[in-house]
Amino acid sequence: MDTLSTNKTAGDPWLLTPGPLTTSATVKAAMLHDWGSRDCAFIEATARVRARLVEMAGGGDAYTCVPMQGSGTFAVEAMIGTLVPPAGKLLILVNGAYGERIARISRYYSRAHATLTAPEDRAIDPAEVAAALAKDPAITHVAVVHCETTSGVLNPIAEIAAIVARAGRLLLIDAMSAFGAIELDAAAVPFAAVAASANKCLEGVPGLGFVIVRKDAIAASAGNAPSLSLDLHDQWQAMEKNGQWRFTPPTHVLFAFDRALDEHAAEGGVAGRGARYRANCRLLIDGMTALGFVPLLPAGLQAPIIVTFRMPADPRFDFQLFYDGLVARGYVIYPGKLTVADSFRIGCIGRLGEPEMKGALGAIRATLADMGVRDGSPEPARRAAG
Ligand SMILES: *Cc1c(COP(=O)(O)O)cnc(C)c1O
């Protein structure tokens, strides 16, 4: 692959965040045109993007892809609101803010639901899912987040999918922060639908999400959605009829996404993209650990997407100063979102490679030195002992 370091516009910071994230110059350049919504090139690009996403998920003929205008949450909401019928009941597996958001969507839509909750620093236990399904025959669908971006924890999606399939229920996956970098193959992970967006591991620009869905499931969902703009069935029907979007499409975003998918393929698809992110994650964790920082998650639960670090104990450490010092040096990180521990997060995804991760670690060392912090350990009094 061509060098990554020419990929942002000069003067822009590197985004070590869970999205929007740093995109390549060529993805940004793909937007420098205007298209009408009935433009042949646009209709063809829409069809091409849909087909490539189904293929990426190992979907084959049984699946289709329905893109949806908006951020990732719009796609998740369209998936839940359209596929869970008014008479259905959704079991939501919650170990972070995005699982909670699915519960919130269910409340807005007055869909019957139950939650199975695990702490934010643990994965969902498949055995508990099996028990919950055995106990409540009213449950028709199960929703799970593949990588819970709140902490960066990876849920055991294959085990959960097998249990849900064996119990005869339908699985809906929010794979927003994993899709394109962590394998999700419909043949190995039987799912009814998976929602993701253009602007995470697929390295497009923000503005559209999509749902890869079994054709039989979407065909059976007519009339379910209480929302017109987020009616996935209606969007699907329109696209099948004439290849067009129902309402103003995000033309520029779609062309940038098409280009981003070219670059994803050129990097070796999901395996190649995942390998770069794993290398980024390893560099980050090794470099931060050398500075005394402690990741929240054990290695076995950590997805190579975003890493949560516990807040240092040194009273001279001030997160706002730390954040601002990194921005001044050209790197943007992310505050924590956890309730279990005071923390901050650093992303491994986007058009970033070894030079950028090393650059970020250099900026972190310099910023800590400015603050007079010699140790990022979350345990107090380690310095006093020496
Ligand atoms: C980013 C993300 C979303 C969607 O967030 P938006 O801000 O609506 O794009 C949903 N689920 C997960 C797990 C995410 O990481």
Domain coordinates in residue numbering, the chain: 4-21+269-381, 31-265
What residues contact 266, with CB distance under 8 A and at least 6 apart?
1
User: What pLDDT is recorded for position 385?
Assistant: 46
Distance 194 CA to ligand 1 centre (A): 13
Whether residue 317 is predicted with pLDDT greater than 60 in this model: the reply is yes
User: What pLDDT is recorded for position 336?
Assistant: 84
Distances (CA, A) of 110 to 45, 136, 153, 375: 36, 19, 29, 49
When pLDDT is cut at 50, 70 and 90, the band that residue 56 belongs to is very high
Whether residue 4 is predicted with pLDDT greater than 70 in this model: the reply is no
Pocket-testing residue among 92, 197, 308, 345, ligand 1, by greatest number of atoms within 8 A of Cβ: 197
- Spatial distance between the Cα atoms of 30 and 17, rounded to a whole number of angstroms: 23
Instruction: Evaluate whether 197 touches 176 at the Cβ level (below 8 Å).
Output: yes
Whether residue 386 is predicted with pLDDT greater than 50 in this model: the reply is no
The residue whose two tokens read 């309402």 is: 247
Nearest Cα neighbor of 118 from 150, 140, 96, 103 is 96
Distance 144 CA to ligand 1 centre (A): 13
Instruction: Provide the β-strand partners of residue 373.
Output: none
Nearest Cα neighbor of 84 from 74, 76, 95 is 76
Distance 69 CA to ligand 1 centre (A): 14
How crowded is the C-beta side of 325, counted as CA atoms within 13 Å? Answer: 19
User: What pLDDT is recorded for position 338?
Assistant: 79
Whether residue 384 is predicted with pLDDT greater than 60 in this model: the reply is no
User: What pLDDT is recorded for position 380?
Assistant: 78
The highest-level CATH class for domain 4-21+269-381 is: alpha beta
- Spatial distance between the Cα atoms of 97 and 144, rounded to a whole number of angstroms: 12
Asked: is 31-265 a CATH 3.40.640.10 domain? The reply is yes
Q: Which atom of ligand 1 sits closest to the CA of residue 74?
A: 8
Q: At what angle do helices 251-266 and 269-290 cross, to 10 degrees?
A: 80
Instruction: Determine how many CB atoms are found less than 10 A away from the CB of residue 16.
Output: 27
What residues contact 243, with CB distance under 8 A and at least 6 apart?
43, 46, 47
3-class SS at 58?
coil
Counts for the chain of helices (H) and strands (E), in that order: 13, 14
Stretch 34-41: mean pLDDT: 93
When pLDDT is cut at 50, 70 and 90, the band that residue 381 belongs to is low
> pLDDT exceeding 70 applies to what percent of the chain?
97
Q: Is the CB of 145 under 6 A from ligand 1?
A: yes
Nearest Cα residue to atom 2 of ligand 1: 176
Nearest Cα neighbor of 201 from 255, 147, 282, 144 is 147
* The pairing of beta strand 141-145 with beta strand 89-94: parallel
Distance 101 CA to ligand 1 centre (A): 9
> pLDDT exceeding 90 applies to what percent of the chain?
93
Whether residue 263 is predicted with pLDDT greater than 50 in this model: the reply is yes
User: What pLDDT is recorded for position 1?
Assistant: 45
Q: Is the CB of 133 under 6 A from ligand 1?
A: no
When pLDDT is cut at 50, 70 and 90, the band that residue 11 belongs to is confident
> What is the phi/psi pair of residue 115, to 5°?
-120, 145
